[in-house]
Each structure stands twice: as structure tokens, then as C-alpha cells.
Structure 1
Amino acid sequence: MQQTFRTLSLAVALLCLGSTAALAQLKRFSIGPYIETGAPAGDFHDTHDVGWGGGVNADIKLIAGLGITGSVGYMHFGGKTTTITNPDSSPGKYTYPNVSAIPIRVGVKYHFFPLLYVKVEGGVANFTNTKYRDGAAAIFAPGIGIRILMIDVEAKYELWHKDGSSGFWGLKAGVNF
């Protein structure tokens, strides 16, 4: 997994650096910061609170509304505290460990209209808190968004899969330069 993380990181860095000089004059490349929030879904909702994160996003326009996108960021979900009522164990409280990860995503984006787009991304979420899980999870994240001038807002569902799945509904807002 470390090799996959390094390879994806290098690919995103080279994509960003190599494309900046060539495409900046044509306004076909944009990069900028984003913030996001995620509302856990399913079993993940039972164990974790709303998550917050941020990072850097890059877009490259190709042809006829089609483009590629990539992002690197940080995401954190706080663990909930629950009361154990299992008759086989002594009653008490249990706090689920926090989830902290560095998601690296790459995907395709298609603009239906100048403002509206759909996007599908995949990648890896490298867990930084080993009390939750060790290693990295595979990411699948479809979404829909709107971009007006430099402001980009996207609604998405993001699924992290490793030894089970953790999913969340997300809202991502960023500025693209």
C-alpha cells in the first residue's frame, strides 16, 4: 500500500506541475484549496460523528466538456460514545476511535452545461489513526456539482472500502485559480 500511495502522490504532483506551465495560458488547468464535510451513512453513522476536512484540488479540461480531476486532502471523523447494554458483558460506555485519513482521489468530470457537472473519482484513503484501521482503503466517489467563475460546490457520496465499508454523504466547496 505504501508503494501505491507513493505512486499516486507522485502522479498527482507531476500532473499538477507539468500541466501548470503548458495549460495555464489556455485556462484549461485550475488548482485550488477546498473544504468539505461528511455525514456518515449506514453503520458508520452509528459509530461516528460528522467529519470535516480540507485539501487541494486540480482540474484539467480536455475536450467537449470532459476533464480529469484529482485531489489530496485530510479528513477526520470523531468517534461516538455509546452505552453497552449487552447482557453478556458488564454495562458501561464505549468510545469508538476517531477516523483520520489522507484521501487521494483521481477521476473524470463531465460538464453537461457550462455550470453543471458530474464527476466520478477513485483512489485511496490512507488511515493516519491506526486505532481505527491500519493501511489504506479504496475510494469510490460519484458526485454532482456546480462551478460559477472560481467557486466550485459539489455534493457527493463517498465510499471507503477496507475490511468492510464506510460511507458518507459529503459537501465540498473550493476555490479554483
Structure 2
Amino acid sequence: MKNSFKISALVLAFAGLAFGAKAQTSTPTTTTTTSTTTNNGIRYSIGVDAGIPLGNFKDNYKWNLGGSVQADIPVISNQLFVTVNAGYNNIFGKKNIGGVQGADVTNFQLIPVKAGLKYFIIPNFYVQGEAGAAFLLNKKDVGVNKSTAFVYAPQVGVQFPISANGNFIDAGIRYEATTKYATGVDQSKVSFLGLRVAYGF
């Protein structure tokens, strides 16, 4: 219940930020940086996320899959955007650890909520940095003592138009990591190299 309240509060706060920015940018904007046109300056995208665990975390986990929604809110037209991102990420545990049948690692089920900046260095190519909170949905099953951790994610990517009305594809590669979910246990830090491929409008 406590986690649900935290998640709801964060989602509502970010939604309020997005809608507030939308209300202030009511004139159509043509985005020459990415050759797309948006109705109010804000770009929305829905994406698939996948990745490969790194560091100590890869000892027990093999890959992750999830999805996310993102809003890009313009600060400097066509070049600098504030990003708000929320999603779901399932990190799959390894099976038969040490060759023992049935010795399976429980999946990590996360809801990361992040905000940051997205900057287009040249047309269609950007760098992005985000930070926020990652909520662990199955703390008891995983056997840790924290359900929330700080998360950060630097990313590089490309964004290119696919239609005249402003739809686009956004593909980015990022490093994402959290602080510990179990006090004093480095293996409880989530870290992975991830790929996000999204459809934007």
C-alpha cells in the first residue's frame, strides 16, 4: 500500500508537469532538428526496453525486458527538452544456479520513474541523462529490505521522422543503474546496458 501511494504520487506529479508545460506551449512547433512537426511542442513516445545486466548483478540475472512511456517537453526549441519517463522492467533470474536443478533466481520486477534532459547535438542525434526512483514490486520474493532505490540513466540515441505529420522513431542505448536494495549487498544494485526503441507522436 505504501509503495502504491509513492508510485501514484510520482506519476501524478510528472503528469501535472507534462500537462502544465503543454498548456504553456499552445502554438504549433516545427522541429527542424529532427524534421518532425508536433502539435504543441511536446513529444510523446511509447517504447520497448531490453537489456543485459552488468557488474555483480550479472552473476544472478541474464537479461531484462519491459516497456516505457516518455514525454519530451521543449525548453529550447528543437534542441533541449525536459524528459519524463515511466515504465515497467522485468529482469530475468538465472535458472539452475551451480548446476542444481530448481535453484532458480527470482525475477526483479521494477517500476522506474525518471526525469531528465535530452539535448540534440546535431540533427537527429541526442544525448540524454535521467534520474529518479525505481520501485521494486516483489521485495519479499527477492529477499531484500528496501523497495525503493535511486536510479540514473545516461543515454545516447537517434530520432528520425517516419511521416509528415510528426510521427517518429526514437532509438537509444543507455547505461542504467540503481543504488542497493539490500543494505551492504553490492549484488542488490541493479545495473544493465539497455536499448529502447520507441514510436513517437
Mapped partners of 1:32, 1:146: distance in 2: 13
Aligned match of 1:40: 53
Structure 1 residue aligned with 2:171, among 133, 145, 153?
A: 153
Aligned match of 1:81: 95
Aligned residues: 172
Structure 1 residue aligned with 2:43, among 30, 40, 51?
A: 30
Aligned match of 1:97: 106
Mapped partners of 2:147, 2:97: distance in 1: 29
TM-score w.r.t. structure 1 length? 0.87
What is the SS of the residue equivalent to 1:97?
Answer: coil
Aligned match of 1:88: none
Q: Deviations over 1:102-137 (max 9, x none)?
A: 110101111101211101100111111221244111
Aligned match of 1:175: 199
The answer to whether structure 1 residue 68 and structure 2 residue 82 are counterparts is: yes
Structure 2 residue aligned with 1:54, among 54, 67, 74?
A: 67
Cα deviation for residue 43 of structure 1 reads 1.7
What is the SS of the residue equivalent to 1:94?
Answer: coil
What is the SS of the residue equivalent to 1:13?
Answer: helix
Q: 1:84 touches 1:93 (CA, 8 Å); kept in 2?
A: no
Q: 1:40 touches 1:49 (CA, 8 Å); kept in 2?
A: yes
Cα deviation for residue 93 of structure 1 reads 5.1
What is the SS of the residue equivalent to 2:76?
Answer: coil
Structure 2 residue ranges without an equivalent (≥5): 30-37, 162-167
The answer to whether structure 1 residue 108 and structure 2 residue 117 are counterparts is: yes
**Sequence identity, in percent?**
30
TM-score w.r.t. structure 2 length? 0.77
